């Protein structure tokens, strides 16, 4: 069955250079143009960068290709493809501080072909010909300032912020939001009191046993209630508490 060709769509697509905007990256000396079949896709997110991205340089080192990506506001990241790993098509981009900044997707066959044919050296591209398409940008929000009871702390884009909860405060990350749960923790009170804290004790179960009969009583709504009830008119049952002990006494009637 013959396939239907949409000529109008084909005409509009023939000049597309994705993942670049206008053309294939061209060397500043105009003696080299990066084939469109080498870089197939990209996803870039240099920390702290909010501008557009472009391919700045590509270096051929004989057994590897090294790519440098730069954002319009000064952020840079680099990644390399090694011929000894022909099945690895993703090039991880890292900043100078080794932060992840995205990836480039290569055609391993075309990259190997280019590496075999290209003389060793660094090729610097004209920015106007090497701008990536906006669909490849992934802007990552970051915190640049923290306000605490001790003042304001400035944070650089390449610095990590570590948040920790103490003494019954637990942190949870849900859908990009940080939730703070203040649930309390007796261990926190122990830490503050430096070992002098005496935890409270609670009655969790009361067991009555007589001969072969055993009755377990669980707390009702968190409380254990013990009441003395005597149906005998000749004697009475009394309950006393001494420290952590509860004692029951059968009191005979007075003669």
Q: What angle do CA 80, 135, 142 make, to 5 degrees?
A: 75
32 and 128 fall within a common domain? yes
Computed over every residue of the chain, the mean pLDDT equals 78
117 and 213 fall within a common domain? no
Is 69 inside any structural domain? yes
What confidence category does residue 177 fall into, taking pLDDT thresholds of 50, 70 and 90? Answer: confident
32 and 81 fall within a common domain? yes
pLDDT tens string 29-62:
767 888 888 999 999 888 878 889 999 999 999 8
- Quote the domain boundaries for residue 185: 163-200
pLDDT tens string 93-127:
999 988 889 999 999 999 999 999 889 999 999 99
61-89 CB burial, b ≥16 within 10 A, e <16: eeeebbbbbbbeeebebbbebeeeeeeeb
pLDDT at 64 (0 to 100): 92
pTM score: 0.53
Q: Which two tokens stand for residue 238?
A: 């009394």
123 and 184 fall within a common domain? no
pLDDT tens string 185-220:
655 666 666 666 666 666 677 777 777 888 777 766
What confidence category does residue 3 fall into, taking pLDDT thresholds of 50, 70 and 90? Answer: very low
């Amino acid at each position: 069955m013959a396939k239907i060709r949409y000529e109008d769509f084909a005409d509009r697509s023939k000049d597309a250079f994705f993942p670049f905007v206008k053309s294939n990256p061209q060397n500043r000396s105009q003696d080299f143009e990066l084939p469109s079949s080498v870089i197939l896709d990209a996803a870039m997110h240099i920390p702290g960068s909010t501008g557009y991205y472009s391919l700045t340089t590509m270096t051929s080192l004989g057994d590897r290709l090294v790519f440098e990506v730069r954002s319009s506001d000064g952020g840079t990241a680099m990644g390399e493809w090694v011929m000894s790993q022909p099945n690895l098509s993703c090039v991880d981009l890292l900043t100078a501080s080794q932060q992840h900044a995205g990836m480039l997707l290569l055609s391993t066959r075309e990259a190997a072909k280019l590496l075999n044919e290209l003389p060793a050296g660094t090729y610097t591209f004209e920015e106007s010909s090497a701008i990536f398409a906006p669909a490849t940008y992934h802007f990552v929000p970051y915190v640049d300032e923290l306000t605490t009871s001790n003042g304001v702390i400035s944070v650089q884009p390449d610095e990590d912020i570590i948040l920790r909860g103490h003494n019954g405060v637990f942190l949870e990350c849900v859908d990009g939001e940080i939730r703070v749960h203040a649930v309390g923790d007796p261990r926190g009170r122990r830490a503050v009191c430096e070992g002098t804290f005496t935890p409270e004790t609670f009655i969790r179960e009361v067991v009555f046993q007589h001969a072969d009969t055993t009755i377990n009583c669980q707390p009702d709504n968190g409380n254990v209630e013990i009441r003395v009830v005597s149906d005998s008119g000749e004697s009475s049952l009394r309950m006393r508490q001494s420290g952590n002990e509860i004692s029951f006494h059968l009191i005979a009637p007075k003669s």
